[in-house]
Structure 1
């Protein structure tokens, strides 16, 4: 039980290590798949939101385990296409920061939203995240490879969140609830910091 708890915390720490700030790679630094893959794991805002999506999916259970992450990735890709095409979406950075706050709170409070509502919330935030990825695609990158890169990285972060949820679940109801509330609370506080510019 204790080892599962430790493993879950280590998994969350390992996922968060690549980012110490909400920094995105500079345009033109790399191209194609590798740059697209690096983008979601280069900022704390993206990492926390993606992991919380995975934990949220696990908490909902059933079909949500695959529908929530899949919906996020698909809608994110549409948002990415808007960004690549240069189509403006208002309040993108605010939407990304709010996604961390809201998803963290949902996980911390163990909200059992109806599946349709969960998919709606996830889809809304996915547009913002996708647009940020697409708008920051370097000029010399192949759009298809870049898109594939950020889709794969995002899916892996979702899997990390699902794995974390699974490990938390194995820790037992009491300990698992504490860890879930702590992880969600940390994400929410970090989201507020990102939203206010403190992080």
Structure 2
């Protein structure tokens, strides 16, 4: 039983270091000092608490879905992020996108609390829509003078990494007690509500 606990301890340490490195818990801190398109893209999701929490929620919630849909979720996340970023680069301005990002955190937390098993069509739409909001935010906040496709690759890798790590940690927790996942869902929903209100 030591290996799961070592893995979870490592995950908590990584999350703590990431938050400390950001120097802030604001949703979208600046990227000053981060050089290169790929590195900027890789770093951006890790410096936004709303992005980290949303991806963790997606990864944990995916565990309660049927195997076929569960295997699709990372690809759907990539699709939503890509569409959102491309829409921002095309000059599409969607009013209230930050509110959409905040609501995605709140709603993903609620889905995690219930461990709701969605039909594949509805669940796919939810994942793409939520990740579209995050992709729009990433795309609109891309620093000037960097390669867009390298930036896109960076934040895609970071997003998938968070989802898969959350899924791995969640499977270990679920093996012990599914109420642990629901408890995390409560915390995520509460954080999402604070984003919406604040």
1:100-119 to structure 2, matched below 5 A, reads 100-119=105-124
Residue aligning to 2:147: 142
Kindly indicate whether the alpha-carbon contact (under 8 Å) linking 1:58 and 1:64 is maintained by their aligned counterparts in 2.
Answer: no
Residue aligning to 1:122: 127
1:5-84 to structure 2, matched below 5 A, reads 7-8=7-8, 11=11, 14-15=14-15, 17-19=17-19, 21-26=25-30, 29=33, 30-84=35-89
C-alpha separation in 2, matches of 1:4 and 1:177? 15
Residue aligning to 2:185: 184
Instruction: Report the TM-score, using the length of structure 1 for normalisation.
Output: 0.88
Q: Give CA deviations for 1:45-75 in whole Å, capped at 9, x if unaligned.
A: 0001001111111111401222112101112
Structure 2 unaligned residues grouped into runs of 5+: none
Deviation at 1:41, TM superposition (A): 0.8
Which stretches of structure 1, 4 residues or more, deviate above 6 A after TM superposition?
none
CA 1:60–1:5 in 2, change beyond 3 Å: closer, same or farther?
A: farther
The yes-or-no answer on 1:89 pairing with 2:90 is: no
**What is the number of equivalent residue pairs in this alignment?**
193
C-alpha separation in 2, matches of 1:187 and 1:12? 16
CA 1:141–1:66 in 2, change beyond 3 Å: closer, same or farther?
A: same
C-alpha separation in 1, matches of 2:187 and 2:6? 17
Q: Give CA deviations for 1:14-69 in whole Å, capped at 9, x if unaligned.
A: 33652351342426643300001111111110001001111111111401222112
Kindly indicate whether the alpha-carbon contact (under 8 Å) linking 1:31 and 1:140 is maintained by their aligned counterparts in 2.
Answer: no
Instruction: Report the TM-score, using the length of structure 2 for normalisation.
Output: 0.88
